[in-house]
Amino acid sequence: MYAIFENGGKQYKACVGDLVKVEKLGAEVGSKVEFGVIMTADEKGIQLGAEVENVKVQAEVVSHGKDKKIIVFKYKAKKNERKKQGHRQPYTQIKVTGIGAEEKKPAAKKTAAKKPATKKAAEKQEVAAEVAE
């Protein structure tokens, strides 16, 4: 089974146990992180859209670092314009520990405000609400 997840405007393919370099995260080494899934594929077939709405990729942060240096060279012919820059993209290396649906927590019951039986009772309730604020 594998999943496609998104982070930092990029999409990554991940299987359980893979080491993946993603855009730098603010998480500490050893902490757990979760990513929303765009698509999953397994023996049953491919699921996407509403089918993978609750599916998450669980991972553990292994390390932080910087990629190899790339050279950015801008040049305009016959204008004597040259600009040379280097760049090292920061990244976070993660290890995928699991792919699956997140556990649903029981929803808390909402208590609806009681409607007053008469118009006078409604006015009293509004005044009491204003006083409380």
Cβ-based burial of 20 (10 A; exposed 0-12, middle 13-18, buried ≥19): buried
Digit-coded pLDDT (tens) for 26-77:
999 999 999 999 999 989 899 988 889 899 999 999 999 999 999 999 999 9
What number is the average pLDDT over the span 22-28?
A: 95
What is the dihedral angle through the alpha carbons of 27, 28, 32, 37, rounded to the nearest 10 degrees? 30
Q: Tell me which of 21-25, 97-101, 104-108 is least confident.
A: 104-108
Rounded distance between C-alpha atoms, residue 95 and residue 24, angstroms = 14
pLDDT of residue 49: 87
Sketch the domain layout of the chain as residue ranges.
2-103
- Position 133 pLDDT exceeds 70: no
What number is the average pLDDT over the span 90-116?
A: 74
Instruction: Please provide residue 66's backbone torsions phi and psi, each rounded to the nearest 5 degrees.
Output: -130, 140
- Residue matched to tokens 């999409």: 11
The CA angle 79-85-89, to the nearest 5 degrees, is 145
pLDDT of residue 76: 96
The closest alpha carbon to 20, from 58, 56, 68, belongs to 58
